Amino acid sequence: MIQRIQSIWLLLAGVTICCLLFIPMVTATAGNTEYYINANGLYQKLDGVSTLLKGSIHLLIMTIAVAVMCLINVFNYKNRTSQKRIAYINIVFIIALSFWCSIFAKKIPGGLETANYNIGMFLPVIAIFFCILAIRGINNDEKLLRSADRLR
């Protein structure tokens, strides 16, 4: 059913991945210039004005695709096995996305040694946790239906 708990967990996973578009993952300061990276690319913030230095369309498309896949999986409630399979695939894609983000983060001026890690770096881990909770909810639904079938 759509009002089950796994729908909430999948929705939260999708929203968490969407936050990667706006929340910086890594920041670095060089003089009076601040550099930060989110899923759109590498930005330079000088005197309060942010400019895109190097965009990453592939990272942006991957982030949007993972978020949309989580959100579409909410409406796949009639087929629990497929919903669970897609949730596992989401976890794999989130791991790949976080690996790709870490590789892109190495392009920040000054390297990762001088960089500060922000909350955006931990959002994929939170999304994976939400997907695991959704899988757990799907398993609980299957157990409930099996027990109801035994009573008939």
pLDDT tens digits for range 105-118: 888 887 777 788 88
User: Which numeric CATH code is attached to 5-151?
Assistant: 1.20.140.150
Average pLDDT of the chain is 87
Residue 1: which pLDDT band, with cuts at 50, 70 and 90? Answer: very low
pTM over 0.85: yes
Phi-psi group of 47: left, alpha or beta (phi > 0 → left; psi -120 to 50 → alpha; rest → beta): left
pLDDT of residue 151: 60
The domain ranges of the chain are 5-151
Q: By CB neighbour count within 10 A (0-12 exposed, 13-18 middle, 19+ buried), where does 9 fall?
A: buried
pLDDT of residue 149: 66
For the chain, the residue count is 152
Buried b (16+ CB within 10 A) or exposed e, 112-147: eeebeebebbebbebbbebbebbbebbeebeeeeee
Q: pLDDT digits over 19-67, tens only?
A: 999 999 888 888 788 888 888 888 888 888 888 888 889 989 999 999 9
Q: Looking at residue 113, what DSSP letter applies?
A: T
> Which one has a higher pLDDT value, 1 or 55?
55
Contacts of residue 46, defined as CB under 8 A and 6 or more positions apart, other chains included, come to: 32, 33, 34
Q: How far is CA 135 from CA 6, 17, 79, 130, 142, in A?
A: 7, 17, 13, 9, 11
